[in-house]
Structures are given as structure tokens and as C-alpha cells.
Chains A and B, each alone.
Chain A
Amino acid sequence: MAKLTGAEILIRSLKEEGVTHVFGYPGGAIIPLTDKLYGEKSLIFHLTRHEQGAAHAADGYARATGKTGVCIATSGPGATNLVTGIATAHMDSIPMVAITGQVKSALIGNDAFQEADMVGITRPITKHNYLVKDVRDLARVVKEAFHIASTGRPGPVLIDLPVDVQLQEAEFKYPKTVALKGYKPTYKGHIGQIKKIAKAIQKSKRPVIYAGGGIIHSGADKELARFARKANIPVTMTLMGLGGFPGDDPLSLGMLGMHGTAYANHAVQASDLLIAIGARFDDRVTGRVDAFAPDAVVVHVDIDPASVSKNVRVDIPVIGDATEILKELNKLVKKGDYIEWHEMIAGWKRELPLKYQEDDRLRPQYVVEQLYELTKDKDVIIATEVGQNQMWAAQHFTYTRPRTWLSSGGLGTMGYGLPAAIGAQIGKPDSIVFDIAGDGSIQMNIQELALAVMEKIPVKIIILNNGYLGMVRQWQELFYDKRYAFTVLSEDNCTMCPDFVKLAESYGAKGIRVNKKADVKKALKAALKEQGPVIVDFIVEREENVFPMVPAGESISNMLHGLA
């Protein structure tokens, strides 16, 4: 058998895994690999302008397509720049394989030029990681990495590859199977436990389904809809779960938690049965844990045993894949009515809808609503940054399909949205991809606009520009006596810094500014028509707040409503 170099083996292995796009940035310790990728037609390298952008683009690609995203960086600073992106993927259980160059094997541990201990650095933020010391292990390691990243509870896996291993030669034979004695995720749920859920549903008078990102990862959206409709149980979703159940379905309660809808939070608090599926009782969801769903029997369906009873006492745990378990449950569950319960919820929906002041001022919620109205019949994907922009995008846009909502939930990474939108657009060339951003977070990875322009990736960036780091400013307004410590981005001698329209133009993209409410629709329509990337800079009400809001550490019953 002919021998291949490590770089060639890696490329062949990526192809075996069906990889067609990688996101990365070159450097000294990864040249042998990028050299072999040069000119590749079926495995395209997308040059981001910062390694963090590469990791988020791979993540956005993965969230939009369901495939494993791949990012590549050189050793040392290149690799450490991936860290935030890897941690983002880890917190949100996103399948990703990160490949980093490493200094020559003989130099490892010598504080060599551009050396960093990546296996050590990424150990707590990866599902698993590898340092490949022998080229003969490489194909097996890649096989294992993709298997681990994409199965069970998905997550990122890092492969650190010394530059000399990329050049060493070995025979290439891609393994057909993996042999990992210590890794066997459970997919089938325990049938006895599933029967217990069915019984609990029959006994319940006020059930609620609490659906998380696991619905999306598992592809369980159809089974979930069947379950909810058959049993007639209302569904609330976590930030990660948006799109897992149609937001326009009468059974949908929208999002719960710190900035959830009032009716979702009241329903959870009043429930006598809470059915958590692929969710992990994050503190932003539960608020004060001991006051969370106090009267409910808690069911928890999750593929990760460690998520069960970690934060909240669970009465009926079922370990396994959400789709498999819902399929079984759908066989057992009977038609429910819960008339009084639905009336109660309808009352909350009437009295406490999501709302904001509707006047002639340009308010960020209005922009998001109009974007939804204009695109609801189209194949659209929304990525977001982190902060107020993210919460308004979660609240005022209605997500009806999985993988159309890409947002950094667990880690809350500012700068996620633009590169994620680019990755999503590459994976879904026929979709319309928006990044809903704030003027703070867009600046964290604005450099990726260059990639969008160079590769003609028509992402559309909506900046809800209030000249503040708005979410922190909101906390300062409410809990710190309006002391806006270091959250002011726009001041007298810096009112437009940067000027996002000029900035877009300087990258060769289109820039549009909107100052008036009356111009919102026109600008959004223009953005939709634009063939290339575009920034629409909406100069919005500066001190608009996100409501409802549960102050940190309080019960989710105690919402601040702003306008109420």
C-alpha cells in the first residue's frame, strides 16, 4: 500500500467523515496541512480573519446543518484563540472537531516558539481531546473524534497534531468502527420509566413540557410535536430549545426563565407535572432553585446521566435519546384535555403578553418583529450575538423549525453571531441568514465581514445600536443605581465610533442606516434584496430594557414587567 503523509491522512479521514467545509487560519505549525488543502475542491478551506471566528463558524455550520463542524488553527496563539469558540460549543453541546498544529514532537515541553499545551488547556472545555504522537494513530484518532463529537450528548473534540507528525508517512486505512470501552451512550430509554411518565401524565391536572436544546440535537422536534398535541400539553422552551417546537403553535408558551414570557414562567410555577426533555435546569431557567416549580412532579429525559438531579431533584429520570424515548411515550400517551389548565394559561397569555411601548420611536423590539413579519414565509436562519439583542431576538421573532436559531446559550459569548451566521450560510446556501447584533458584540468579531465579502456570503447583519453594552447597562439601571460603569460606547467625541455604514463599506459590504421607525420595513426589504453581505445599523432607543426580567437569584415567579 502506498504511504501518505499525516496531512494527507487527515484530509482523507475528513473526507471519509463527509466533511466538505473547514474553517481556519494558517500558521507555522499547520503549514503541511494547509498546503495539502490548497486547491482541494471537495474540502473547502474558509479563511476567517481570527481563529475565534473559525471556531464559531464551524459551530454555526454545525447548528444549522446538524453535521460536525471543523475548525483548524496553528499552534500557540492560533490554538488559544480557538478556546472561546470551543468552550461555546462545549456549553451548548455542539458537535465540533478542532484541529490544531503543535510544535515538533521533540520540542514539546521546551517552551518552544508558539507552543501551548492545548490538550491541557482544552481538557475542561472539550468532550475529549488528543495529542497525536505517532502518524499511525491518526486515522483512528480522527474516527474516534468524530464519533465522540457527534454521538451521545454532542460536544467538541480537539486533535493536537505536531508539525512533524503531519509530515511523517504511514499507510492509510480508515477504520470502519471505533473501539472505545469507556464510551457507550445510552439511547433507548428504560421502558418502565417511560410507563411511569405516561402514568404521571394521566394523574396530572397541570402538566407542562420544558424542552431544551436536546430536542434539536436529537432531531426530536416531530416526535415532540406529536407528543404535545396528542397529550394536549403546553410546551415551553429554553433559549437552546427555540425552534424545537413551533413557536406559533397554540400550545407554545415561548421561552421560560430570566427573560422568558410571563405565561411560561407562571405555567411552570403552577404546574403539577414538569416534563423536562433535553434540558438541564440551568440557573438562567430556574432562578432560585428551591422555589422552582414547587408543586411539580419532575420528569427528566436526558441523554447525559450527569445532567439528571444535578440542580433540581428529579422524580422520574429517563436516560436516553429524546427521539427514541418520545417515540415510546407516544405509544402510551392518551389524549388529554386539561380544560381548566388551558383556560388558566390563556388568561395569563391575555393579561401578560410580551409587550413594549408602541409609539413612533425606533424601538429594537419593533425591528425584530418587522424582520419576522417580512421573513416568516421564507427559509430564514437567525444567529445572534449576546445581550439584549439576543433576548429581543428570542422573544420577538417566532421560531417554527429546528436549526433556524443559532445563539450562544450556555457560555453567552459576545462575538458569536457574525461568524456563526457565516458558517450557517455556507452550510445552508439557500437559506437567508441574519445576524441580530448589538453595537457592542458585533465589534468582537467584525473582522469576519472580510470573509463574507471575499467569498460572497450574503449574511445580513442587523445592529440594534443603542451605544451601550445594553444588558449590563440594564442591570446597572435596575440594581446599581444607574451607575453606568464602563458600559457607555457612544459619547460626545465618539457618537458614531465606529460608523457601521462606513465600516461595512470599507470591507466592501453594503451599509444602511436607519434612524426612524418609519424606515424600518424599507431598510429590511433592501437588505433582503441585497446579493452580498449587508449591515443595517438601526439607531434604536438608547435605554430600552428587556422585560420580563427575573432578577438573578430570585424565584421565576418574581418577574419585573417594566410596562405592566
Chain B
Amino acid sequence: MQKFVLSVLVENKFGVLTRVAGLFSARGYNIGSLAVGETEDPGISRMTIVVEADEKILEQIKKQLNKLIDVLRVQDLTGGEHVGRELILIKVKAEDIKAREKIVQVVDSTGGEIVDIGKKALTVEESGDEHRIRALIELLRPYGILEIVRTGKIAMQSEA
């Protein structure tokens, strides 16, 4: 099993997300993450889907997606150059001054931002590629992570 990044252009119509999600569940494909939003054309949305599959299943996923009437284009970004980003919010325990100082240092060093300060916790925002996100989570883990929210990956093919 390998991770693949698919960029799928779909009609921006009611029910399209269910059609795509339903296809994955009905055929037993694994979705790693799915992010969807409007494109420059409000009639069209783009889904970035990270799937876990082998080559044969990936081929089926692409073909089955293409069969959906509302799917306009399926692009496999995995092999080629592409920019992938994800946004994450991490609520981390920060009950004493010492911990707070250390967390601030970690966040500064990784280019993240503290976006909410509570009495007992800080919320950190970070966006970046997978490595960066994973690194930040690992750095913050020792302080006690209370909650994580992630958008799932969005991706765009690089300009040649």
C-alpha cells in the first residue's frame, strides 16, 4: 500500500461529495484525506484526495471516478512535481510559565503561529507539507496535545 494524491475536478453541484465518498466506501477503497473547495470557476470544485492503495486499485479508483457524470477530470499528482499543503490547529497543554516559554520557542522555530491563548492551553496553527506538520506534532507531543484539527491535504501541480 502506498499513498497517492489525486486532484479531482468536479461540477460544483449538490450531492457530488456523496457520490465521490460513496464510491470509495462501496468499493472498499481507503481515503487518507479529502479536501474540497471552489476553484477560480464557481461552477467547478476541486477535491484533493489522498488515497492508500496499490497500483492496481489506484487504476480502478481513477477509472471509477472518471465514470461519475459530475467528475470532469482526474489528475494523479503523485509522480509529478506538485505543491502540497495542509493546515493544522493543535491545542497543547501549557499550564506553567516554563512550558509556555518552551512551546513559544518551538512554534517560532518552525514558523508556526500561536493563535489562541488560554489559561491552561495554547492553540498553535501551522501550514505546510506533510513533513513540517509531522515535525511540529512530534515537537509538541511531550507537552501534552489536547486536540488536533487538520484540513487534509490540498495540492496543485507545479508550473513546468
Contact = CB atoms under 8 A, between A and B. Distances in A.
Contacts of A128: 69
Interface size band for A: 10 to 19
Given A124-B22, A306-B67, A119 B72 contact: no
Contacts of B15: 119, 131
Given A119-B15, A123-B19, A124-B26, A306 B72 contact: no
A148 B56 contact: no
Nearest to A306: B63
A182 B70 contact: yes
Q: Give the dominant DSSP class at B's interface.
A: helix
Contact of B66 (A119, A181, A305): A305
Contacts of A306: 60, 63-64, 66-67
A182 B26 CA distance: 21
A180 B59 contact: no
B67 A120 contact: no
Interface in B50-99: 56, 59-60, 63-64, 66-72
A170 to B, nearest CB: 20
Contacts of A120: 18
Contacts of A180: 69
B129 interface: no
B40 to A, nearest CB: 16
A168 interface: no
Contacts of A305: 63, 66-67
B100 to A, nearest CB: 47
Contact of B67 (A181, A304, A309): A304
A310 interface: yes
A336 B67 CA distance: 38
A38 interface: no
Given A305-B63, A306-B63, A309-B59, A123 B18 contact: yes
Contacts of B63: 305-306, 308
A110 B10 CA distance: 29
A308 B67 CA distance: 13
B60 A182 contact: no
A281 B67 CA distance: 19
Contacts of B18: 120, 123
Contacts of A124: 22, 26
Given A182-B10, A306-B60, A309-B56, 16 more contacts: A123-B19, A131-B14, A131-B15, A181-B72, A182-B69, A182-B72, A183-B69, A304-B67, A305-B63, A305-B66, A306-B64, A306-B66, A306-B67, A308-B63, A309-B59, A310-B60
Interface of A: 119-120, 123-124, 127-128, 131, 148, 180-183, 304-306, 308-310
Interface of B: 10-11, 14-15, 18-19, 22, 26, 56, 59-60, 63-64, 66-72
The 9 closest A-B pairs by CB, nearest first: A306-B63, A128-B69, A182-B72, A183-B69, A124-B26, A305-B63, A182-B71, A181-B72, A306-B64
27 contacts: A119-B15, A120-B18, A123-B18, A124-B22, A124-B26, A127-B69, A131-B14, A131-B15, A148-B69, A180-B69, A181-B11, A181-B72, A182-B10, A182-B11, A182-B68, A182-B71, A182-B72, A304-B67, A305-B63, A305-B67, A306-B60, A306-B64, A306-B67, A308-B63, A309-B56, A309-B59, A310-B60
